[in-house]
Structures are given as structure tokens and as C-alpha cells.
Amino acid sequence: MIARLTWALGAVALALPVGLYGLEHRVSALEDDVVRFEGMLLDEQSQAHVLRAEWAHLNQPRRLQELILRHEAVLGLEPITPAQVARIADLPARLQDEPSLPVPARNPFRPVGLTTVADQ
Amino acid sequence: MQPPPSLDLETVQEMPERRRAGEPIKLVGIGEQALRKGRARLALTGVVFGLAFAVLAVRLGDLAWPNGDGEARPGTAAAAISDTLERGDIVDRNGTLVASNLSTVSLYADARLIDDAAAVAAKLVRIMPDLDEAAMRARLTSGRAFVWIKRNLTPAEQFAVNRLGIPGLDFQEAQRRIYPQGPLLAHVLGFTDIDNGGIAGLERSLDTRLRTRRDGPVELSIDLRVQHAVRDVLAASMARYKALGAAGLVLDATTGEVVSMVSLPDFDPNDAGTASDDARFNRITLGVYELGSVFKAFTVAMALDTGTVDMRGGYDATHPIKVARFTIRDDHPKARWLSVPEIFKYSSNIGAAKMAMDVGTPRVRQFLARLGMLTRPDFELPETGAPLAPSPWRDINTMTVAFGHGLAVSPLQLASGMSALVNGGTLARPTLIKQKTQPRADRVISKRTSRAMRGLLRLVVADGTGKQADVPGYLVGGKTGTAEKAKHGGYARKALISSFVAAFPIKQPRYVVYALLDEPRGIEETHGFRSAGWNAAPTAGRIIARIAPLLGVRPEFAPPPESEGRMAVAMQKGTKLASF
């Protein structure tokens, strides 16, 4: 009886340190990960922070306005006028019978000579 | 120490002749004594070892248990970038960044390690041409252990300096306050000194909050888009009317939030050191001006609210008033009896003065104090000016204050007071911080008076001096004010402050807009006129046309229905309908 208890305790005494050592090893590895990830997080955050500042700088309304005026010919953007503001409810009612749009028999934009399964 | 229980001393007896198997060995004499001693020692050792192992077991359990003083640290928050910044961010009401800290490197030298100062200085100047070579040489030969070369290097400059490989040069990482929006919010934000301490504007008044609290950025009440639109329109007007300066303010009529605050000329807070005193001067909060006829709105409101006159009443404005050595006359004399709406519309000084005298000096002062016109406003900016009120306040002062002379207030005070006149009669403290809930607002005039004031303000724009402020789609109400600048103890006839205060949409005003031009000149387009109706009013109109769609104010093009939108205004002959 005593002998068996001694063997069992001995086994526990051997297993415990081994298990604990393994656990501690895993924990310290995880903690290293945490430190590394926190560092990465901080790096990312600081980069995001710089980018946010840059975004704000590049989106200065004055700068955007200058760009829009410089490329007026292409963009044709103008400040919104009061006449352009409306509510959905103010829109005229939709026509009941919408005239059906003529649909081309073949896709007119497809290069000549190209056929697909649908054409056959 | 107890004797070990396993020992059975009673069984130790005289040794028998023959011993049965399994029976304990029995010793006698010296043998017995030695055996006893040995067993006692063994037991003692066992107990000591047992205790030691018990201690080890407890300690082991303690270490393994996660919330002990071991190394496990559950629940620690991840580090955040905001913790590493010396100063918190500031964002506008839509969350756009307007002030932040960035890490930059600064170059310094240990002058003791520099051998050939002249050569090093020449090399550094080649990289950074803005450095003064002679001063640099002097600094590098000073023999001190730490001399600044240049703060805030660009990454390219840092790389070039590193490539020189000169011993004794080194970098220090530091944080720098940046304002990505440039001059757009110059007077609101202010700026910081080289050590990131706030020394002007909100940077100064919120210094402690920005340095210590890390619970997110400071949210301004300013809308950046509106701010730009106001600045853009004001800059164009300032150039067009050749004015010395311009200022604009957009105030939420009910919450007191400042949606936009512009003072021109302005400066770039990123480079505040080079700004002139004039550029740093905040015309909206620090400047106090005798603002002229816009003050008649307060005079009429107080007369209506105290009941000394009603909308159908009026005053005789035939003759100028002579008091002591002053004569109060009208700029556009009608020389007849004028009704209250007419006094307001034609901006009659005589009528306003008589109206105020009927209210009486004590009540006038009381009313103006209630609207915050006589004390320095409680506002977030340190650059907030105190009004200049007449002292002692005699009846003549009551008369002149009635049409906006003799009492100098800041445009902020005026717009804030105006918001109370039109919003239904409650005054909220003006603020630059975004309000999550409706802040406390004190009633200053009755709802009825406020409604009458809205009608009168609309009348000025529909059919008076403020016609050019009208914006199709938004019913604008407002009042012009042209005042001569007080200079050298008198008034300068040619140096004018022309301003326009407007509210829109006037049926239920959401915003109060104030536009001011400092010494505008008469131009061809205005037929040489320099009064507010010709410059400040159209400026305010352009501001409203630009910002109203941004602010989501719904335009109304159909005329408002008779029942709610029209106000009967008693005129001299018959009744005229003024729509609003």
C-alpha cells in the first residue's frame, strides 16, 4: 500500500515539474508574442497616425478647391447651390408605364469575329 | 517536537529466548537505549523534511496560481499610440484632424568632438541651405557638449547628415505640433511654443486637458467645410472691397456652438513665429467695436419685450434730437412719424434713441447685461475681449447705445445676443466645443418678441438695406450696421466698420451668420458706397448660399403659406405684408 502510494507520488513529483516547465515555457513564449505584437501595433498605429495627418493635410478644403479650379475643364465641378438640394419626397412621381428600352440583338461593343457560347 | 507515533515503546521488553517471525526485535539494556534515540532522531528529521516540502508545495501552488505576484498579468490593455504623444489631438465636429503631434528628429552636436568646425559647417549648410554658416561655425567651436544645429529635419535631410558620418553629430527624436489644415483654424486653435506648451487660442486654454487626458481627441464645434467656405467668401470680399480686414462667424442659433469663426488676415499656426500682430489679432473675439445700426435690433427687442411700444406704435422722427453738445440725426431722414417696423427698416437713429429713452436707462442696462453685452463673455479662447461700456452711463449714452454707438462689443457677443433674439428668446453660452446635448439656455425675451424680431429682420432683407443678403431658397433675415471707427478721441468719417448680422431660415432660424469688413472702400460696383448694405450684406448672402447646402438646411422655393409665413406690418399708409 505504502509502496504503491510512494510510486504514485513519485510519478506525480516527476510529472509536475515537467508539466510546469512546459507550461512556463509556453507562457513565456506567448508573452514574447504579446510584447512583439504590441510593438507591431504601436508601429502600425504610429504609421496610421502619420497617414491620418497626411490625409488631413492633403484634404485641406483650400487645396481641393485649387485642384478643382485648376482642372475645371475636365472636372466641371462647382459649389452646390440651394436649387440642387431636395428631399426624396419632393421628386416627381415615377412614370407608371416606363417605355421599354430597345435592346440590341447583339452586344454592339463586342469585337467582330468573337463568338461566345451564348451566340450559338 | 512530538515523539513519532509509529514507535511502540511498550512493545520493547526483555528479549525472549525464541522470537516468532514478524515480531519486533526487542532489545534490552544499552541496545534498547540506542534504538530509542535513533528512532527519535529519524522522526525529527522526517518532520523537518515534511515541513520543508510542505513549504515548497505551497510556494509552488502560489507561483502556479495566475493572480499571484507571479509574472502572469491578465487583462493588461494594449499600448496605444495616444499614450506616447505629449499632446492630444484636436478634431473638427466631423472628426477631421486639425491638430496633432508627430515625431520628428532634431540634429544636435557635441562640439567637443568636432575637429574641423569650418568644414562641418560647410557640409551641413550644403544639406540644409537655410542654416547660417557663420553662426554654425561659432556654435561648433564653442566647445560645449550640446549645441542645437536644427530642429525638425526632414527624413531626406536626416539621411544626408547620416551619410556624412561625422562623429559628434547626433539626432534626438522629439515631437512637434502640426496643424494639417494650415491657416484655416489659426485663430481658433492658436499655437504652441517650441516645447509643445500651448501659448494661444484653444491650445492655451485647453493646455492641461490636452497634456493629461487621453480619452480621445478634443472635438470642436467647428465644421471644417463651413470654415473654409466662410474664409473663402470673406477673402474674396476683402479683396473686392479693398478692406483692411474681414471677419465672419457662424453660430448655431440654439446651442451656441460656433460652427465657423474666421478672422482675416490670418496666419499659419505651423509657422506662428513669423505672423504679424495684425494677423494674430482675432477680430471676432478680441476686437471690440461700436457696431452701429445692428444694435437697433436689441433696442427694438427690448422696447417690444418691456411693452413700452408695440409693433403698431411709432415715434416722431421729424427733427434731430439735440442733447447737450450732441445732435442725433438720421442718415436717410424721412422727417416724419415712423412706425416701429419703419424705424428698423430705415434704420432711424432718432426713432431708436426715443425708443430706448422710453424704456429708460436702468432697464436698458439691465437688458443689455442679460444679453451679455456688458461683461466679458465666458468663452474658451483666452483672446476674448471685454466690452467697453460708457462710464458713467448717462441718458445720452442710452440714446447713442440705442443705435450702436458708445458701447463697443465683440462680434461674438453681438452674434450670440442676436441668436437669442431670433431663436425663440433663449441665450446659450457661445462655445467652441461640440455639444452632445442641448446646453443650458436662459430665457431673455419672450417667444412673442422673438417672433416679431424675426419678422422685422426679414423685412430689412426683403425690402430694406439688406436686400443684397437675400439668397433664393433660404429666407434670410438680418440687419446692416455701418459704424465709423473711433479714432483719436473722435470718429473717423472715412474709416468704417461695416457689418451684417443674419439669421436663416428666418421662420425657424438654425444659424446666425455675422460678416464684418474693416474699412471697406467704395468701388465702382457699389457706386462708391461703402456702407454695409453694399458690402457686408452681399458677403453674408454669399456665405449663406455657400454654407446652407453643406449644413443640410432644406431650401424652400414656394412662397410660405399665408397663415404661418406672413406678418402684418403696420406702415404709415394702410397695411403692408412683409413675407418671411
pLDDT at B380: 92
Nearest CA in chain A to B77: A38
pLDDT exceeds cutoff 60 at A33: yes
Q: Which amino acid is at B228?
A: H
pLDDT at B447: 92
Nearest CA in chain A to B78: A38
Percent of chain B's residues with pLDDT above 90: 39
Question: Parallel, antiparallel, or unpaired for β B566-570 and B258-264?
Answer: unpaired
pLDDT at B18: 60
Where residue B112 falls among pLDDT bands split at 50, 70, 90?
Answer: confident
pLDDT at B234: 94
- Residues of chain A found within 8 Å of residue B554, distances taken between Cβ atoms: 85, 87
The verdict on a CB contact (< 8 Å) between B182 and A62 is yes
Q: Which amino acid is at A36?
A: R
- Taking the C-alpha atoms of residue B414 and residue B400, their distance in angstroms, rounded to an integer, is 16
Long-range contacts of B83-88 (CB under 8 A, 24+ apart): B83/B214, B84/A42, B84/A46, B85/B175, B86/B175, B86/B196, B86/B211, B87/B175, B87/B177, B87/B192, B87/B196, B87/B210, B87/B211, B88/B209, B88/B210, B88/B211, B88/B213, B88/B214, B88/B216, B88/B217, B88/B218
Q: Which of B376-385, B481-490, B520-529 has the highest mean pLDDT?
A: B376-385
The verdict on a CB contact (< 8 Å) between A82 and B103 is no
pLDDT exceeds cutoff 50 at B561: no
- Taking the C-alpha atoms of residue B80 and residue B84, their distance in angstroms, rounded to an integer, is 7
- Residues of chain A found within 8 Å of residue B224, distances taken between Cβ atoms: 61
The verdict on a CB contact (< 8 Å) between A62 and B232 is yes
Nearest CA in chain A to B474: A82
pLDDT at B9: 52
pLDDT at A50: 85
Q: What is the DSSP string of B347-406?
A: T-HHHHHHHHHHH-HHHHHHHHHHTT-SS----S-S--PPPB--SS--HHHHHHHHTT-S
Catalytically active residues of B, by annotation: 293
The verdict on a CB contact (< 8 Å) between B96 and A56 is yes
pLDDT at B509: 92
pLDDT at B64: 66
- B72, B182, B554 ranked by CB distance to A85: nearest: B554
CB-based contact (8 Å) between B70 and chain A? Answer: no
Chain segment B13-48, per-residue pLDDT in tens: 555 556 566 666 666 777 788 888 999 999 999 999
- Taking the C-alpha atoms of residue B343 and residue B329, their distance in angstroms, rounded to an integer, is 13
Where residue B333 falls among pLDDT bands split at 50, 70, 90?
Answer: confident
- Residues of chain A found within 8 Å of residue B227, distances taken between Cβ atoms: 61
How would you classify residue B462: left for phi > 0, otherwise alpha for psi between -120 and 50, otherwise beta? alpha
ipTM of the complex: 0.71
Residues 6+ apart with CB under 8 A from B358: B303, B308, B309
* Mean pLDDT of all residues in B101-119: 86
| CA distances in angstroms from A30 to A25, B72, B75, B466, listed in the order given | 9, 11, 14, 72
Per mean pLDDT, which range of A69-73, B150-154, B499-503 is the poorest?
B150-154
CB-based contact (8 Å) between B210 and chain A? Answer: no
The verdict on a CB contact (< 8 Å) between B97 and A80 is no
The size of chain A, in residues, is 120
Which candidate in A36, A43, A55, A57 is best for mutational testing of the B interface (most B CBs within 10 A)? A57
pLDDT at B562: 41
Between residues B360 and B80, the one the model is more confident about: B360
The verdict on a CB contact (< 8 Å) between B472 and A83 is yes
Chain segment A10-23, per-residue pLDDT in tens: 999 899 889 888 98
| CA distances in angstroms from B559 to B451, B456, B555, B574, listed in the order given | 18, 18, 11, 23
Q: For the whole model, what pTM was predicted?
A: 0.76
Nearest CA in chain A to B64: A20
pLDDT at B5: 53
Rounded to the nearest angstrom, the minimum Cα separation between A73 and chain B is 21
Please, is B516 exposed, middle or buried when counting C-beta atoms within 10 Å of its C-beta (0-12, 13-18, 19+)?
buried
pLDDT at B135: 86
